Structure 1
Amino acid sequence: MLIVNGIEDGPVDARDRGFTYGDGVFRTFPMSGGRVPHWDRHFNKLARDCAALRLACPQRDQFEADLARISTRHPDGVIRITVTRGVTPRGYSIPDQPTTTRSVAWSAFNPGRHESVLGVRARWCQLRLAIQPALAGIKHLNRLENVLARSEWNDPAIAEGLLCDVQGNVIGGTMSNLILLHKGALRTPALDGCGIAGVTRELIIERARAEHLAVEVDTIDPGMVREADAVFLVNSVIGVWQVIAVDDMTWVVSPFIERLRNWIANG
């Protein structure tokens, strides 16, 4: 099911800047029983990302009306919200008052989304992420690096690929944020040069600090991943996966994963 600017199966103009330039932002999250967990966080993140791109964010009640319509037919599934700068005259220049395009799409859950019970396997990607502080942390529509990185493997036993930037620092997964349990602290990469600062990552950082756990948001090198007591991958759809292998490195399932899951469920 797709709603575009409030119209079910509404048209999307091929001249839309989301198509021509990737000029927009998006959010992806689960809906369960017609409810969106952490909706406040998702909308606030969307609004911040829009502001960072000088993109007018549609009103919250517009999205909520779209979500309510979807939930009457599809109370469970994955929702993707996309906001683009709409159709403008040719050229990169931003008009003074562009008309944004708002879309809300539903899809069924991936049947393999619960594969994390016994842990997942990952691999290192060869692709290196470019550094662009102006776009760092934003979930914008330009995701070609992720597409190319994900195309590096077809093995269904490998759930995710880990990415470094061009300086060799670990940034996260192709579709997830990285959390390490390392020497008694929770560590996650600083995303001031590239990467997406996800809502689940944000929630975990806040909850850990509220419980007075050591949290470090800083540069992480591949050696720190190897030394970690536990490696987790998180996003809003998968929740939290524990990594049990990255190439030749292996870990046992840590009981700490239940704490992370409780934070996500109750955060």
Structure 2
Amino acid sequence: MNAHVHSGGDAPVPFDDRGLAYGDGLFETVLVRDGAPLLWEAHLARLQAGLERLGIPTPGREIFDALPAHGVGCGLMILKLLMTRGSGGRGYQLPENMQPRLRWRMTPFTPQADRWQTGVTVRSCHWRLPRQRALAGLKHLNRLDNVMARQEWTDPAIAEGLLCDTEGLLIEATAMNLAWFDREQRCWMTPRLHHCGVAGTLRQALLEAGVLTEIEASPEALANAEAGCVFNSVQGVWPIEQWVSEQQSDTPPLRRTWHLEEQPVREAVKRLQVPAHALLGYPVQ
């Protein structure tokens, strides 16, 4: 059902907002190029699916379609949308008359383009993602697992942390999706997100294009891969140059290095980076 929405741009939210109090809401982070939102239909589809899953009334689409135009003539921008259930209800009880609250902000953006070519170092996180099938794939406001995982390192040389679920299966990075090039299948694999994780919009587009294949896999799949990448709809595709798996004890960390200058690795990365960057308007290095 459509709903009356309190839309206030970057205005403050009241103390009793349910998104602030309980994480009761969703968000989207959209790359906007000269007023044109990229992967816009995928972002709106994920938001719509999340609103339906949480039982939050759906605003009219015209409210969202008007927002990217604020970036016309501004080059590359990031549009962040925050959608909460609004205020009201006693404790966790839902308000009888829900009036969702929309907040948004548009900010200039410059991608970390050097990482497209030189690659990044990632590490394995000790934190594990709990399984909750009902919330799997959604970009909801409850991101404490990501916060807890991200605080495991402060080394600026490490770009991302890789997360497994409580069953030890690969899921994603703290702020990006994950993929690896399987030596035997000769294709790019990405973790299946039936139990947890965020179903990224770039990931979804690449799945629909047949570039990625979903699979349940342990970290050994990445360790044996010909190449690996982390990616999202804002930064594009970062090849993994080194993967560090730190141990709980005094034993040295495990490391796996991919030499990005080697032709098999370089060609594998291009098979993912070319179609992904075409969707975002980014060059391939």
TM-score, shorter chain, exceeding 0.5 = yes
From the superposition, tell whether residues 257 and 60 of structure 1 become closer, same or farther in structure 2 (CA, over 3 Å): farther
Scaled by the length of structure 1, the TM-score of the pair is: 0.90
Mapping for residues 1-267 of structure 1, pairs under 5 Å: 5-68=6-69, 70-72=70-72, 74-109=74-109, 112=112, 114-182=114-182, 183=184, 184-208=186-210, 216-247=213-244, 248-253=255-260, 254-267=266-279
Q: Is the 8 A contact 1:35 1:75 kept in 2?
A: no
Amino acid in the other structure paired with 2:33: S
Number of matched residues?
A: 258
For 1:192, give the aligned amino acid: H
Displacement after TM superposition at 1:107 (Å) = 2.4
Change (3 A) 1:39 1:128: same
- Deviation at 1:208? 2.0
Q: Partners in 1 of 2:73 and 2:92 — Cα distance?
A: 39
Identical positions, percent: 36
Give the partner amino acid of 2:60.
Q
Cα offsets for 1:112-151 (capped at 9, x unmatched)? 3542321111000111111111111111000001011111
Which consecutive unaligned segments of at least 5 residues does structure 1 have? 210-214
Distance across 1 between alignment mates of 2:106 and 2:190: 30
Q: Structure 1 residues 119-128 or 48-57, which shifts more? A: 48-57
SS of corresponding position for 2:91:
coil
**C-alpha contact (below 8 Å) 2:237/2:277 kept by paired residues:** no
Deviation digits for residues 210-262 of structure 1 (CA, Å, limit 9, x no counterpart): xxxxx542211011110011111111111111111101101122223333233
SS of corresponding position for 1:134: helix
State the superposition RMSD in angstroms: 1.9
| Aligned-partner Cα distance in 2 for 1:8–1:22 | 19
Offset, 1:110: 5.2
Match of 1:212 in 2: none
- Judge which range, 74-83 or 118-127, deviates more: 74-83
After TM superposition, the score normalised by the length of structure 2 is 0.84
Distance 1:20 1:114 in 2: 39
SS at match of 1:50: helix
Q: Which moved more, 1:239-248 or 1:249-258?
A: 249-258
Q: Distance in 1 between matches of 2:152 and 2:108?
A: 25
Residue 88 of structure 1 aligns to a residue whose secondary structure is coil
Note if contact 2:9-2:102 (Cα within 8 Å) is conserved in structure 1. no
